[in-house]
């Protein structure tokens, strides 16, 4: 699905240049669940922004579904994002003036889907993340865990091939964090590719591969033994 070759990203001001990513090489196959870990400032979020086509690399090649999009126009990148990628953020990024159902439906407004089909899809995805009973509530009326469920529903309502999650449990307590991770696991089991930034090793254990970053580089990669992980959880 994704091939990054010699990707670098530098931010420049009048006085200084900061290298956020330095010669990144990474391949992500369809159906993988990848966790990206590393200390603050190591380039994790920049990596996620580049993967999500929200930030353009300074150099290198980025192939997505076989297409090199490194030098593509913003209009083309927006179209690729719209049809293929869902985003989940640490801060939820819900719109307070809209109901739960309206927040979930928001991405569908850009897909020219008939209203009846849109309503059906929103209802189905809300039920899948157990938030349908809050459909008419506003975000400020929900707990943090419920708000992140809405954010997950919004991310998957278009049926994206790839979900990018930036510290999706960062503002949640342990129980709600585990519930969100379980939701991501179910989406991955259904075939959705997931790339998640996290600082928590126990959360990274939900992934099938862990990428460790330091100073803008990939330091190491570890494949998680899913069978052993599953057995450990049931002990």
Query: Residue 234: what pLDDT?
Result: 43
pLDDT at 235 over 80: no
Note the pLDDT of residue 226. Answer: 54
Residue 133: exposed, middle, or buried by beta-carbon count in 10 A (0-12, 13-18, 19+)?
exposed
Q: Which of 89, 105, 91 is nearest to 153 (CA)?
A: 105
Note the pLDDT of residue 171.
Answer: 85
| Structure-derived torsion over alpha carbons of residues 23, 65, 40, 151, reported in degrees to the nearest 10 | 170
Looking at residue 53, what is its pLDDT? 95
Closest CA to 50 of 158, 129, 166: 166
User: Which residues have a Cβ under 8 Å from the Cβ of 58 and sit 6 or more positions away?
Assistant: 8, 9, 10
CA angle 86, 87, 91 (to 5 degrees): 155
DSSP code of residue 70: T
- Which residue is listed with tokens 């994206």? 160
Compute the average pLDDT of residues 204-214: 95
Q: Which one, of 50, 11, 94, 17, lies nearest residue 213 by Cα? A: 50
Q: What percent of the chain has pLDDT over 90?
A: 78
Q: Give the model confidence (pLDDT) of 105-147 as tens digits.
A: 999 988 888 888 999 999 999 999 999 999 999 999 999 999 9
pLDDT of 201 above 60: yes
No. of H helices and E strands in the chain?
Answer: 8, 10
Whole-angstrom Cα distance, residue 33 to residue 87? 14
| Residue range 2-31, pLDDT digits in tens | 999 999 999 988 788 899 999 999 999 999
**Model confidence at 228, in pLDDT bands (50, 70, 90)?**
low
pLDDT band at 225 (very low <50, low <70, confident <90, very high): low
Tens digit of pLDDT for each residue in 46-80? Answer: 999 999 999 999 999 999 999 999 889 999 999 99
Read off the tokens for 47. 């990596």
């Amino acid at each position: 699905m994704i091939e990054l070759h010699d990707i670098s990203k530098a931010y420049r001001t009048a006085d200084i240049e900061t290298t956020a990513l330095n010669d990144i090489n990474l391949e992500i196959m369809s159906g993988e669940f990848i966790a990206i870990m590393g200390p603050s400032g190591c380039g994790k979020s920049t990596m996620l922004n580049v993967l999500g086509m929200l930030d353009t690399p300074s150099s290198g090649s980025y192939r997505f579904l076989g297409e090199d999009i490194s030098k593509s126009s913003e209009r083309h990148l927006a179209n690729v994002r719209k049809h293929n990628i869902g985003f989940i953020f640490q801060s939820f990024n819900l719109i307070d003036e809209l109901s739960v159902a309206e927040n979930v439906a928001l991405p569908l407004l850009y897909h020219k889907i008939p209203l009846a089909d849109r309503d059906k899809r929103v209802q189905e995805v809300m039920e899948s993340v157990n938030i349908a009973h809050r459909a008419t509530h506003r975000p400020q009326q929900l707990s943090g865990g419920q708000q992140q469920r809405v954010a997950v529903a919004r991310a998957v309502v278009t049926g994206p091939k790839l979900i990018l999650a930036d510290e999706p449990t960062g503002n949640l307590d342990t129980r709600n964090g585990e519930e969100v991770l379980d939701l991501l696991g179910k989406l991955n089991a259904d075939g959705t590719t997931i790339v998640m930034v996290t600082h928590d090793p126990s959360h990274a254990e939900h992934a099938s591969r862990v990428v460790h970053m330091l100073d803008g580089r990939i330091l190491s990669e570890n494949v998680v033994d899913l069978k052993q992980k599953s057995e450990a959880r049931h002990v």
